[in-house]
Amino acid sequence: MHIDHLTKILRQSLGNSTTISSWNMVGGGCINQCYQLITKSQVYFVKCNKHRYLDMFEKEHQGLVALSNKCNLLVPNPVDSGIVEDYSYLVMNFIDSSTPSTCYWEDLGEGLAGLHGHTKEQFGWQADNYIGRLPQSNIWHQTWTDFFIQQRLQPQIRMATDTGVLPSEVKADLEKLCSEMDQLIDHEPPALLHGDLWSGNIMTGPLGEPCLMDPAVYYGHREIELAFTKLFGGFNIKFYEAYNHCYPLAAGYLQRFDIYNIYPLLVHLNLFGGGYLAEIKQTLSAYR
């Protein structure tokens, strides 16, 4: 992206007197172009993409606001989202990274437990949003089982079936698991979730504190959030100990983690192809 476009984005977000002193292209995932923009008074982080991704940025903006209002962990402050010419964008304050503090993982566990303490009468969210670049439906449901099946598993199963990456026998096993879900999962009140919590969506802030990024918020069962943290290697054991000390998980949660992680595995199957099919089949084999 040309500097002229970045200047227009900041001026549309902050005012026409805003001037960029320097800028750098930085990492920010595989979907967007990301930039560090330095002005005289502030440093900003800007995500850019094609025009059609505006809704994704607006929902991320809303999710960051929700986390900031309900969570005592560091969260980037969203400034603005919108469109300049052919580009959609999201502007937020830039978080300087540093070395994790000695209590980094304990603080993350305690902070997440605090976030999960916020509840609602139903499972869902006020609007649909995105998991990665895939749409995530958040229609309200009275029961977690209905929400998990209808708003999480079934949309991903349909997508994988339509694109041909989900074999018919695996689809049948998934449908069987859905029919037995009430007997397999624990029931708790809705909890406010980050919604996409893995190591790639946390960072270390300027004081060594944990910082949450890239949310896909909704009110769901908190076990699905903890399960996802285990999927790609897991967090430090101190995180789980601190979380359980603040908000103990019900007995048998590790077995239910496997069920909940079928959702992100299906998401990855739809995003990246058949490399994730073996893990899905392995999990389903325990429930045939």
| Domain chopping of the chain, boundaries | 3-93, 104-287
Which CATH number, 1.10.1740.10, 3.40.50.300, 3.90.1150.10, 3.30.200.20, labels domain 3-93? 3.30.200.20
Give me the percent of the chain exceeding a pLDDT of 70: 99
CATH T-level topology, domain 104-287: Aminoglycoside 3'-phosphotransferase; Chain: A, domain 2 (3.90.1200)
Q: Is the pLDDT of residue 1 over 80?
A: no
Residue 288 binned pLDDT confidence (cut-offs 50, 70, 90): confident
Give the residue from 62, 60, 71 showing the smallest Cα distance to 191: 71
The verdict on whether 258 is a catalytic residue reads no
Choose the catalytic residue: 173, 196, 214, 258. 196
Share of the chain above pLDDT 90, in %: 90
* pLDDT of res. 287: 85
Please give the pLDDT value at position 2: 80
Q: What is the mean pLDDT of residues 218-240?
A: 96
10 pLDDT exceeds 80? yes
Mean pLDDT of 60-78: 97
What's the mean pLDDT when you consider all of the chain?
Answer: 95
Residue 255 CA: distances (Å) to CA of 145, 171, 185, 198, 260:
16, 21, 9, 19, 9
Give the integer Cα–Cα distance in Å for 56 and 62. 10
Report residue 248: phi and psi, to 5°: -60, 140
CA-based torsion, 208, 214, 220, 225: positive or negative: negative
Tell me the per-residue pLDDT of 178-217, one tens digit each, with 9 for 90 and over.
999 999 998 999 999 999 999 999 999 999 999 999 999 9
Q: What are the residues whose beta carbons fall under 8 Å from the beta carbon of 53, sequence distance 6 or more?
A: 31, 32, 88, 133
Amino acid sitting at position 231: L
Query: Is the pLDDT score of 99 beyond 80?
Result: yes
